[in-house]
Structure 1
Amino acid sequence: MTLSRPTSQAAGALRDKFREVRATSLALAAPLSAEDQCIQSMPDASPTKWHLAHTTWFFETVLLEPHVAGYVPFDVRFHYLFNSYYEALGPRHPRPHRGLLTRPSIDEVHAYRRHVDEAVGELLGQADGAVDWSVIEPIVTLGLNHEQQHQELLLTDILHALSCNPMLPAYKPASSPALRLAAVPPAVRWIEQPGGVVEVGHADDGLFAFDNETPRHRALVQPHAIADRLVNCGDFAQFIADGGYQRPELWLSDGWAAVQAHGWRHPAYWLAADDPRLGFGGASQNASGWHVFGLHGVRPMEADAPVSQLSFYEAAAYAEWAGARLPTEFEWEAAFDAPGISQMTGHVWQWTRSSYDPYPGFRPMPGIAAEYNGKFMVGQLVLRGGSVATPAGHTRPSYRNFFPPAARWQFTGLRLAKDL
Structure 2
Amino acid sequence: MRWPCWGRPALHRPKCGPIPRTGSPSSTPAPGSTSVAGADTPTLAQRFEAVRQRSLMLTATLSDEDCGAQSMPDASPVKWHLAHTTWFFETFILERAEAHFAPFHPAFRVLFNSYYNGIGERHPRPQRGLLTRPGMDEVGAYRANVDERVARLLALRPDDAVLAALLTLGLQHEQQHQELIQTDVLHLFAQSPLLPACLAQPPAPAPNPGALSWIGFDGGVAELGDDGSNFCFDNELPRHRVFVEPFALASRLVTNGEVLAFINAGGYRNPSLWLAEGWDHVCKERLAHPLYWRQDEAGHWHEFTRHGEHPLQLAAPAVHLSLYEAAACAQFMGARLPTEAEWETAARSNAAGLSQLFGLCWQWTSSSYAPYPGYACAPGALGEYNGKFMLNQYVLRGSSCATPDGHSRVSYRNFFPAHARWQFTGLRLAK
Same fold (TM over 0.5): yes
Is 1:141 the equivalent of 2:193?
no
> How big is each residue's C-alpha offset from its partner over 1:234-273, in whole Å with a ceiling of 9 and x where there is no partner?
1111111111101110001110011111111111011112
Aligned to 2:88: 58
Aligned length: 398
Counterpart residue type for residue 264 of structure 2: A
Question: Following superposition of structure 1 onto structure 2, how do residues 385-396 of structure 1 map, counting pairs within 5 Å?
Answer: 385-396=398-409
Counterpart residue type for residue 299 of structure 1: H
Is 1:413 the equivalent of 2:426?
yes
Aligned to 2:226: 202
Give the match's secondary structure for 1:292: strand
Provide the rounded CA distance (Å) in 2 between the counterparts of 1:322 and 1:413.
Answer: 15
What displacement does 1:224 show? 0.8
Aligned to 1:179: 205
Distance verdict in 2 for CA 1:115–1:11, change over 3 Å = farther
Q: Is the 8 A contact 1:192 1:225 kept in 2?
A: yes
Distance verdict in 2 for CA 1:192–1:365, change over 3 Å = same
Distance verdict in 2 for CA 1:122–1:180, change over 3 Å = closer
Aligned to 1:284: none
What displacement does 1:204 show? 2.6
Give the match's secondary structure for 2:128: helix
Aligned to 1:32: 62
Is 1:192 the equivalent of 2:216?
yes
What displacement does 1:69 show? 1.0
Give the match's secondary structure for 1:271: strand
Give the match's secondary structure for 1:335: helix
Q: Is the 8 A contact 1:2 1:134 kept in 2?
A: no
Give the match's secondary structure for 1:88: coil
What TM-score do the two structures reach when normalised by structure 2?
A: 0.89
Counterpart residue type for residue 148 of structure 1: Q
Give the match's secondary structure for 2:113: coil
Provide the rounded CA distance (Å) in 2 between the counterparts of 1:7 and 1:239.
Answer: 50
Is 1:308 the equivalent of 2:319?
yes
Is 1:106 the equivalent of 2:136?
yes
Provide the rounded CA distance (Å) in 2 between the counterparts of 1:18 and 1:84.
Answer: 21
What displacement does 1:338 show? 2.0
What displacement does 1:76 show? 1.1
Counterpart residue type for residue 156 of structure 1: T
Distance verdict in 2 for CA 1:128–1:172, change over 3 Å = closer
Aligned to 1:232: 255
Q: Is the 8 A contact 1:8 1:128 kept in 2?
A: no
Q: Is the 8 A contact 1:188 1:228 kept in 2?
A: yes
Counterpart residue type for residue 348 of structure 1: C
Aligned to 1:154: 181
Question: Following superposition of structure 1 onto structure 2, how do residues 152-301 of structure 1 map, counting pairs within 5 Å?
Answer: 152-174=179-201, 176=202, 179=205, 186-205=210-229, 207-274=230-297, 289-301=300-312
Provide the rounded CA distance (Å) in 2 between the counterparts of 1:188 and 1:236.
Answer: 14
What TM-score do the two structures reach when normalised by structure 1?
A: 0.91
What displacement does 1:123 show? 0.8
Distance verdict in 2 for CA 1:11–1:235, change over 3 Å = closer
What displacement does 1:11 show? 11
Provide the rounded CA distance (Å) in 1 between the counterparts of 2:263 and 2:357.
Answer: 25
Provide the rounded CA distance (Å) in 2 between the counterparts of 1:8 and 1:71.
Answer: 35
Provide the rounded CA distance (Å) in 1 between the counterparts of 2:41 and 2:259.
Answer: 48
Provide the rounded CA distance (Å) in 2 between the counterparts of 1:2 and 1:410.
Answer: 28
Any gaps of 5 or more consecutive residues in structure 1? 276-287
Runs of 4+ deviating beyond 6 Å: 6-12
Aligned to 1:281: none
Distance verdict in 2 for CA 1:89–1:28, change over 3 Å = same
- Counterpart selection for 2:48 from 18, 34, 59: 18
What displacement does 1:128 show? 4.8
Q: Is the 8 A contact 2:203 2:307 kept in 1?
A: no
Q: Is the 8 A contact 2:206 2:315 kept in 1?
A: no
CA-based RMSD: 1.9
Give the match's secondary structure for 1:139: helix
Q: Which has the higher contact order (CA 8 A, sep 6+)?
A: 2
What displacement does 1:179 show? 2.3
Distance verdict in 2 for CA 1:128–1:167, change over 3 Å = closer
Q: Which 10-residue stretch deviates more, 242-251 or 296-305?
A: 296-305
Counterpart residue type for residue 259 of structure 1: V
Counterpart residue type for residue 22 of structure 1: R
Is 1:126 the equivalent of 2:170?
no
Aligned to 2:116: 86
Distance verdict in 2 for CA 1:216–1:172, change over 3 Å = same
Percentage of identical aligned residues: 55
> How big is each residue's C-alpha offset from its partner over 1:369-411, in whole Å with a ceiling of 9 and x where there is no partner?
1000000000000000010111122221000000000001110
Distance verdict in 2 for CA 1:106–1:247, change over 3 Å = same
Give the match's secondary structure for 2:118: helix
Distance verdict in 2 for CA 1:177–1:65, change over 3 Å = closer
What displacement does 1:25 show? 0.2
Provide the rounded CA distance (Å) in 1 between the counterparts of 2:39 and 2:203.
Answer: 44
Provide the rounded CA distance (Å) in 1 between the counterparts of 2:34 and 2:190.
Answer: 43
Provide the rounded CA distance (Å) in 1 between the counterparts of 2:259 and 2:416.
Answer: 21
Provide the rounded CA distance (Å) in 1 between the counterparts of 2:363 and 2:131.
Answer: 34
